[in-house]
Amino acid sequence: MAFPHLQQPSFLLASLKADSINKPFAQRCQDLVKVIEDFPAKELHAIFPWLVESIFGSLDGVLLGWNLRCLQGRVSPVEYSLVMEFLDPGGPMMKLVYKLQAEDYKFDFPVSYLPGPVKASIQERVLPDSPLYHNKVQFPAAGGLGLNLALNPFEYYMFFFALSLITQKPLPGALHVRTSDCAYFILVDRYLSWFLPTEGSVLPPLSSSPGGPSPSPAPRTPAMPFASYGLHHTSLLKRHISHQTSVNADPASHEIWRSETLLQVFVEMWLHHYSLEMYQKMQSPHAKESFTPTEEHVLVVRLLVKHLHAFSNSLKPEQVSPSTHSHATSPLEEFKRAAIPRFVQQKLYLFLQHCFGHWPLDASFRAVLEMWLSYLQPWRYAPDKQSQSPDGQARCVLERWAPFVQENLLMYTKLFVGFLSRALRTDLVSPKNALMVFRVAKVFAQPNLAEMIQKGEQLFLEPEPVIPHRQHRLFTAPTFSGSFLSSWPPAVTDTSFKVKSHVYSLEGQDCKYTPMFGPEVRTLVLRLAQLITQAKQTAKSISDQCGESTAGRPFLSWLGFYLSDTNSSYPANDLDDVGQDSVRKTDEYLEKALEYLCQMFRLSEAQLTQLTLALGTTQDENGKKQLPDCIVGEDGLLLTPLGRYQIINGLRKFDIEYQGDSELQPIRSYEIASLVRFLFRLSSAINHRFAGQMAALCSRADFLGSFCRYHLMEPGLASRHLLSPVGQGRTAHRARGPRLSLRFLGSYRTLLSLLLAFFVASLFCIGPLPCALLLVLGYFLYAAAMTLLMEQGRPHQL
Span 227-243, pLDDT tens digits: 332 333 333 333 333 33
> Is pLDDT at 720 greater than 80 in this prediction?
no
Q: Choose among 183, 324, 313, 312: nearest CA to 259.
A: 312
Task: Residue 52: name the closest of 10, 13, 8 by CA.
Answer: 13
Q: Is the pTM of this model over 0.95?
A: no
pLDDT at position 481: 39
Report the distance separating Cα 396 and Cα 393, nearest Å. 9
Q: What is the mean pLDDT of residues 563-583?
A: 51
Does 114 score more than 90 pLDDT? yes
For residue 506, list its beta bridge partners.
Answer: none
List residues bridging with 671 in a β-sheet.
Answer: 747
Contact (Cβ atoms closer than 8 angstroms) between residue 250 and residue 201: yes
Q: For the purposes of burial, counting CB atoms within 10 Å of the CB of 439, is it exposed (0-12), middle (13-18) or buried (19 or more)? A: middle
Residue type, 425: R
Q: For 576-619, how does the pLDDT look when each residue is reduced to its tens digit (9 = 90+)?
A: 444 567 788 889 999 999 999 999 999 887 777 776 665 554 44
Q: What is the pLDDT of residues 246-284, one digit of tens each?
A: 333 445 456 689 999 999 999 999 999 887 666 555 555
Query: Do the beta carbons of residue 69 and residue 176 sit within 8 Å?
Result: no
pLDDT at position 794 = 54
Residue of 369, 386, 283, 381 whose CA lies nearest to 340: 381
CA angle, 24 as apex, 20 and 27 as ends, to 5°? 90
Give the least confident one: 390-404, 509-523, 718-732: 718-732
Residue 533 has pLDDT above 80, yes or no: yes
What's the rounded Cα separation, in Å, for the pair 526 and 423? Answer: 12
pLDDT at 47 over 90: yes
Does the structure show a pLDDT above 50 at 210? no
pLDDT over 50 at 335, yes or no: yes
Better pLDDT: 293 or 660: 293
Q: How far, in Å, CA of 531 to CA of 424, rounded?
A: 8
| CA–CA distance, 85 with 480 (Å, rounded to integer) | 36
Cα–Cα separations (whole angstroms), residue 124 to 120, 151, 280, 331, 624: 6, 20, 20, 34, 62
Ordered DSSP codes for 587-611: HHHHHHHHHHHHHHHT--HHHHHHH
- The band of 439, judged by pLDDT with boundaries at 50, 70 and 90, is very high
- pLDDT bin (cut points 50, 70, 90) of residue 201 is confident
Asked if residue 12 lies in contact with residue 69, where contact means CB atoms within 8 angstroms, the answer is no
**Other CB atoms within 10 Å distance of the CB of residue 767:** 11
170 or 397, higher pLDDT: 397
Residue 697 has pLDDT above 90, yes or no: no
Q: What is the pLDDT of residue 600?
A: 93
Please indicate whether residue 661 or residue 422 has the higher confidence score (pLDDT).
422
Q: Which of 118-122, 265-269, 523-527 has the highest mean pLDDT?
A: 265-269
Average pLDDT, the chain: 78
The arithmetic mean of pLDDT across residues 39-49, rounded, is 92
**From 169-173, 364-368, 698-702, 709-713, the region with the lowest mean pLDDT:** 169-173
Closest Cα partner for 267 from 289, 300, 291? 300
DSSP letter, residue 44: H
Residue 96, C-beta contacts closer than 8 angstroms, at least 6 positions apart: 36, 44, 48, 51, 153
pLDDT at 338 over 70: yes
Higher pLDDT: 742 or 652? It is 742
DSSP codes of every residue in 234-289: PPHHHHHHHT---SS--GGGGGHHHHHHHHHHHHHHHHTT--HHHHHHTTSTTPPP
Amino acid at 551: A
Which one, of 56, 58, 33, lies nearest residue 44 by Cα? 33
Q: Which residue has the higher pLDDT, 469 or 22?
A: 22
Give the residue from 317, 568, 599, 347 showing the smallest Cα distance to 449: 599
More confident residue, 642 or 77: 77
Higher pLDDT, 142 or 48: 48
Distance separating alpha carbons of residues 476 and 493, to the nearest angstrom: 18
Name the band, by pLDDT with cuts 50, 70 and 90, for residue 549: low
What distance in Å separates the CA atoms of residue 514 and residue 416, rounded to the nearest whole number?
Answer: 11
CA–chain centroid gap for 787, Å, is 60
Q: What is the CA radius of gyration of the chain?
A: 36
Which whole-number Å values give the CA distances from 642 to 98, 334, 527, 651, in the listed order? 63, 53, 10, 11
Task: Kindly tell me if the per-residue pLDDT of 639 is higher than 90.
Answer: no
pLDDT at 641 over 90: no
Spatial contact of 86 and 32, defined as CB atoms under 8 Å apart:
yes
Residue 310 pLDDT greater than 60, yes or no:
yes
3-state secondary structure of 67: coil
Helical (H) or strand (E) element with 150? strand 148-151
According to DSSP, the β-strands at 148-151 and 107-110 are: antiparallel
For position 232, what pLDDT does the model report?
A: 37
**What distance in Å separates the CA atoms of residue 108 and residue 149, rounded to the nearest whole number?**
6
Please give the span between the terminal C-alpha atoms of the chain, in angstroms, as a whole number: 97
pLDDT score for 580: 67
Q: Which residue type sits at 441? A: A
Bridge partners for 72 per DSSP: 182
* Sign of the dihedral through C-alpha 623, 629, 631, 632: negative
- Average pLDDT on 304-330 reads 74
256-271 vs 183-195: helix crossing angle, rounded to 10: 140
Q: Maximum Cα–Cα distance for the chain, whole Å?
A: 120
Give the residue-averaged pLDDT of 26-46: 93
Distance CA 705, CA 701 (A): 6
Question: Is residue 134 helix, strand or coil?
Answer: coil
Q: Are 221 and 269 in contact (CB under 8 A)?
A: no
Confidence label for 700 from pLDDT (cuts 50, 70 and 90): confident
User: Whole-angstrom Cα distance, residue 304 to residue 266?
Assistant: 8
In sequence order, the β-bridge partners of residue 145 are none
| Order of all β-strands in the sheet with 137-138 | 107-110, 148-151, 137-138
What separation in angstroms does the CA of 159 have from each of 110, 203, 256, 477?
Answer: 11, 21, 18, 26
Q: Which residue has the higher pLDDT, 692 or 633?
A: 692
Higher-pLDDT residue of 23, 623: 23
φ, ψ for residue 8, nearest 5 deg: -110, 115
Helices H, strands E: what count in the chain? 33, 5
Element (H, E) at 153: helix 153-167
Q: Say what percent of the chain tops pLDDT 70.
A: 71
Asked if 268 and 130 count as a contact pair (C-beta separation under 8 A), the reply is yes
Please provide residue 639's backbone torsions phi and psi, each rounded to the nearest 5 degrees.
-70, 135
- Please give the DSSP secondary-structure letter assigned to residue 632: E
- Write down the pLDDT at residue 125: 86
Q: How far apart are CA 68 and CA 183, in angstroms?
A: 5
Q: Which of the 8 DSSP states describes residue 343?
A: I
Residue predicted with more confidence, 574 or 389? 389
> Which residues does residue 108 pair with via DSSP β-bridges, in sequence order?
150
Please state, for a pLDDT cut of 90, what percent of the chain lies above it: 39
Q: Residue 416 carries which side chain, given as an amino acid letter?
A: F
Pairing label, strands 630-633, 636-639 = antiparallel
Q: Is the pLDDT of residue 185 over 80?
A: yes
Amino acid at 325: H
Residue 267 near residue 128, CB atoms below 8 Å: no
Q: What are the Cα distances from residue 797, in Å, to 716, 736, 740?
A: 8, 11, 17
